[in-house]
Chain A
Amino acid sequence: MRDAHRTHAEALAQALAQPAPTPGTSSDGPTDPPAVLAALIEAETSGLEAARTACLAAPARLAGLIGSMAAARACHLEVLS
């Protein structure tokens, strides 16, 4: 799932002709498994909604990519939930 997000970020940056994003650190996040899972679900949920909204407003050339990001995030949620 992490790799999918990185791949999406790189593809979107390339499509937008922007520099590739730099992966952040997670040192300040939760460490116990239930809290980590909850944080992942929260992040995927907000990411799904952001991608949904962006896809509906996107130009045709970006619609497939952003829609794929939304679909992948929905699939991540299916597995995490």
Chain B
Amino acid sequence: MSVEALSAALAAEHAAIFGYGVAGAYLTGEARALARQAETEHRDRRDAVALRIESAGGQLVAAAPAYALPVPVTDAASAMRLAAALEEATAGAWREALAATVDEERQLALDAFIACAVMATRWREAANITPLTVTYPGTT
């Protein structure tokens, strides 16, 4: 197992959770529910990957107090664009982990990569961002 690759994914999950804390404050209704769902998924993945790293004797990357956001958030539309960007960023981190992992760790990375890519698509749809899908998720 590559602790380094999984640690990078853990750091991305920390950043996504922080980002959803910002985005969620600007969202209502279905978008807010989707943000809650996505944040829960990131927290679950954070815990799962942290457990893997600890089990391998690795040092856990701590969450930072704050993260620079890839999209400035001023309203619901920008909050949804941020959510899409957060999902693309985490998808990219998990994509990178694929080459450095095997067996159960690769399964973890692949499931996470796919889940983040699909969530990014859902946010693009919610925010009317086109195209809805990208050729290489996690690279935009």
Q: Which residues of A contact B (CB under 8 A)?
A: 1, 3-4, 7-8, 52, 55-56, 60-61, 63-64, 67-68, 70-72, 74-76, 78-79
B135 and A8 within 8 A (CB)? yes
Could you tell me the dominant secondary structure of chain A's interface residues? helix
Residues of B within 8 A of A55 (CB): 98, 106, 110
What are 29 contact pairs spanning A and B, CB under 8 A? A1-B133, A3-B135, A4-B135, A8-B135, A52-B110, A60-B100, A64-B95, A64-B96, A64-B98, A67-B98, A67-B113, A67-B114, A68-B137, A70-B113, A70-B114, A71-B91, A71-B95, A71-B113, A71-B137, A72-B117, A72-B133, A72-B135, A75-B117, A75-B121, A75-B132, A76-B133, A78-B122, A79-B125, A79-B133
Task: Confirm or deny: B107 has a beta carbon within 8 angstroms of a beta carbon on chain A.
Answer: yes
